[in-house]
Amino acid sequence: MNEQDIAAKGYAHAGALVSTQWLSEHLEDPAVRVLESDEDVLLYDMGHIPGSLKIDWHLDLNDPVQRDYVSREQFQELLRSLGISKTTTVIFYGDKNNWWATYALWVFKLFGFPDARILDGGRSKWEAEERDMTTDVPRVARSTYEAPERHDAKIRAFMRDVREHMDAGGRLIDVRSPDEFTGKKLHMPEYPQEGALRGGHIPGAKSVPWARAANPDGTFKPAGELRAIYEGEAGLSKGDEVVAYCRIGERSSHTWFVLTYLLGYDKVRNYDGSWTEWGNAVRAPIER
């Protein structure tokens, strides 16, 4: 697959994705920084795309004490240590259909980082094509990146926002598994069933499991197929204000990326408190 193949899929912002071929041709480009963000944080150490650096979603993106993301100062130091400047093109990739890669990109966008893209197909496609992997960790020169203040309002929803959105009949997309949506489970199958005292979903939410947006090889489905899912089945329209949620906000960042960049919705927020917050909150309304 190359950039023409991505363009042919009809996305609103096809430039938000790069192909494995494009990345292979830009591994030596000093204006490009490749970052791997995985659910399994040990994968990078077992082998990664040459020149790439690791983003540990536990340690690098989240505040160690308060449930929130890193501060402006912490984000600034992270990007300086990764050798990233405001003019750097950052390419994210990872395991499991780029689940955590889109999460990392979403956090970068909370700070307004301008040029952040996703490797279509992620780690699995790169490996399937038997492209180069290495265990060497590159050394990069520190940058002098100056981070702006974090701006949550446009792409992040808090619980009070979701309650107002729900009361107004706004569009809600629950991206968890069907069993989580119905309340049968509190987490995905094969994971510990923890994190919430109650199961179910936010009243009015439509169930669209996040991974439906991906093909078997990890690439994103064409825009026409995505519209059939989100508009034909879930009833969304491009002008809608949409809130996506999951259990802690990482799976829903994948759906946020799909709706925002691939389908061109401009009013999508990720509720990162998600079911861990909603399912534990006293008198938060729940449907099953």
- Give catalytic residue positions: 246
Q: Can you list the pairs that 179-186 forms with residues at least 24 positions away whose Cβ atoms lie under 8 Å?
A: 180/247, 180/275, 181/205, 181/207, 182/288, 183/286, 183/288, 186/275, 186/279
Instruction: Please report, as a single letter, which amino acid is at residue 266.
Output: D
